[in-house]
Amino acid sequence: MTICVLMPVFNEGPAVAETLFNLRGIAPDLGGVEVVLVDDGSRVPFDAALCPAPTRDFSCVISRHEINLGQGAALETARQIALARGDFEAYVTMDSDGQHRPEDLRVLLQEIRNGADVVFGNRFRGDSNVPLVRKIVLRLAALFERGVTGLALHDAHNGFRAFNRKAIELCPITQGRMAHATEIKQRVAHGRRQQGLRITEAPVSIRYSDASLKKGQSSWGAFTILKDLVFRSLFGDGTS
Amino acid sequence: MTLASLLLFILVVLVLVLDVVTLRGARKILVLEVLALLTAMVLIVRQDIATGIARRVGLERGVDFVIYPMMVWLFREALLSRHARWVEARRLDRFVRSVAVRQARVFELPRGPEP
C-alpha cells in the first residue's frame, strides 16, 4: 500500500461509508490505500459492516476509544497504529464526514513524491465553499499560527494533510481536542528547525454542508483552542 | 453587630451545619473546617480583633488581612487543581489508547458457512 489514511470518527452517519467507498474507488490509481479508522467513543459504535470489502488495493483497520477523548486523541491513536502497520509512502489525516475529497489525495501524494516531508492542505486555493464568517476566523487563525509557529501557511485547522514517515514520527499529538491542529504545526515547525523538514501547501477542496457546519467547530471554538494551548504550554512536558 | 456581619455570620453557621452533616466520614477535615469557621465567626462578630491584628502588621483593615492570603491561596489551588486534571486526563488518554491500539483489527469480510 502507498497511502495510509488516518481517520477519526465520532457519531458520523452514513457519510463515513460513502467516504470509505470513494477511497476504495480511487485506491488503485494511488497504488493502494489503507485506512486506519478510530471511532472516538461514538454513542453508537462504528459498524464494521459499513466498511467496503477489502481488495488488493484497499484495506481498513478499525479501532475504538471506549470513551470520547477528542479528535486529536483519535488521530494520535491512528498515528500509533499506522506506524506499527509498516512503511507507507504517505500518511494522510482526513475527515470522515465527507468534507474532504478523496481525489485530493493525488495532489498531496504528488507533493510528497516531489520531495516534501509535510503537505498542508489549503482550502482557499481549492474549490471550497467556505462561509464568510468562517473564512474570516480562519484567516485570523492562520495569522495567529504564523506568529506561534513561524510557518507562513495560508490555511488554519485544515485536517487534510500528508506526511512522510520521517515527519509523522516527529509529530506525536498530545492535544486531545481541536488544538491538535496548532500543535501539529508547532511540531512540524520544530522539525523544520531541527531536522530540516520540507513543508509545502497544496490546494484541496472542502465541501461544507449544513450537517458538517452544524457538527463541526463553531467559531467560538477558537477560544477553547487558545485555552488548551495555554494549558499545554503551562503543564505539558512535551512528552505526555 | 452590623447587618453585613449578621448575614456573614448566618452564612458561616449554615455552611458549618451543612458540612457537619455531609462530612461525617471525614472527621479530620471536619475538625479542621470547624476550627477555621469558628475563628471566622469570632472575627466576624469581633471585627476590632481582626483590625487590631492587621494594624500591628501594617494593614489598614482587618478584612485585608484575611483576603490577601486567601487570594494567594485560591490562585495556588486553582493552578494545582488544573494541573491535577491535566495529569489525570493524560493518564486516561494513555489508558484508553493502549486498549484501542491493542484491539485494532484489520477489517475482513465475515466468512460464510463451511460447505
- Mutation target for A interface from B99, B107, B108: give the one with most A CBs within 10 A: B107
Q: What is the distance of C-alpha A98 from the center of its chain?
A: 13
For A41, which residue in chain B has the nearest alpha carbon?
B96
Q: Taking residues A53-78, report their average pLDDT.
A: 95
The DSSP code for A103 is: G
In this predicted structure, what is the pLDDT of residue A207? 84
- ipTM above threshold 0.95: no
In this predicted structure, what is the pLDDT of residue A219? 64
In this predicted structure, what is the pLDDT of residue A212? 67
A54 with B93: Cβ contact below 8 A: no
Q: Measured between alpha carbons, how far is A98 from A95 in angstroms, rounded to an integer? A: 7
* Model pTM score: 0.81
With beta carbons less than 8 A apart as the criterion, state whether A92 and A105 touch: yes
Size of interface A-B (CB pairs under 8 A): 66
Grade residue A216 by pLDDT with cuts at 50, 70 and 90: low
The DSSP code for A56 is: S
Q: Taking residues A86-102, report their average pLDDT.
A: 93
Q: Measured between alpha carbons, how far is A26 from A106 in angstroms, rounded to an integer? A: 9
Q: What is the mean pLDDT of chain A?
A: 90
Distance from CA of A208 to the nearest CA of B (A): 29
Q: Measured between alpha carbons, how far is B10 from B21 in angstroms, rounded to an integer? A: 17
In this predicted structure, what is the pLDDT of residue A10? 93
User: How many CB atoms are located within 10 Å of the residue A185 CB?
Assistant: 25
Q: Taking residues A166-178, report their average pLDDT.
A: 92
Q: Taking residues A153-175, report their average pLDDT.
A: 93
Residues of B in contact with A69 (CB under 8 A): 92-93, 96-97
The DSSP code for A188 is: H
For B95, which residue in chain A has the nearest alpha carbon?
A65
A61 with B105: Cβ contact below 8 A: yes
- Residue A239 in this model has a pLDDT that exceeds 50: no
State residue A6 phi and psi, 5-degree precision: -95, 115
In this predicted structure, what is the pLDDT of residue B69? 84
- Residue B111 in this model has a pLDDT that exceeds 60: no
Q: Taking residues B40-55, report their average pLDDT.
A: 86
With beta carbons less than 8 A apart as the criterion, state whether A21 and A50 touch: no
**Interhelix angle B27-45/B47-56, nearest 10 degrees:** 90
Between A218 and B24, residue with greater pLDDT: B24
- Mutation target for B interface from A33, A69, A76, A229: give the one with most B CBs within 10 A: A69
Paired sense of beta strands B105-106 and A58-65, if any = antiparallel
Maximal CA-CA distance, chain A: 47
Q: For the sheet containing A90-93, what is the strand order? A: A199-203, A118-122, A161-163, A90-93, A3-9, A33-40, A58-65, B105-106
